[in-house]
Structure 1
């Protein structure tokens, strides 16, 4: 944990930034690299009856953390994509999970 879901991001771009991104995020959260999951969701975006190139949207599922940490996390993700050549607006949004409702191997956190 955390789990990052990327939409509107090409898998090749995500692969390009994945190592450095996880390095920075694990340092910020003082968490092991193996606690991160990056998922690239291929989907079609449609507007006015036509397929359109989507703006990148990154959904972050994680346990509660301070606002300052969340702000830094969002900035790291945004800057990684921009440095990899993304020119569109990038949306990062957080879904806060309740530890007692998250189970790993049958045990909640």
Structure 2
């Protein structure tokens, strides 16, 4: 189960994820981003309530990063210890901007 809460403030899009980002829920986030990212110049993921991320979830974050490299910036904040461990083991902590 994943709850996605997006807000757009001018060119800044905030995405709060609550639950698990896995093979079942990653397509939901992917379609949400495709629909709402548009011309945003800044994308911020708040992962405070994200319990788990799978390789499918990592793929969605990587795709979002590639889009934002062309049109602005992306960062990830409030990462839990469990999710941070996954980022570090997979090398994503070197690819993504985590604040």
Greater fraction of residues in strand:
2
TM-score computed with the length of structure 1 as normaliser: 0.31
The answer to which structure, 1 or 2, has the higher relative contact order (CA under 8 A, 6+ apart) is 1
Q: Which has the larger radius of gyration?
A: 1
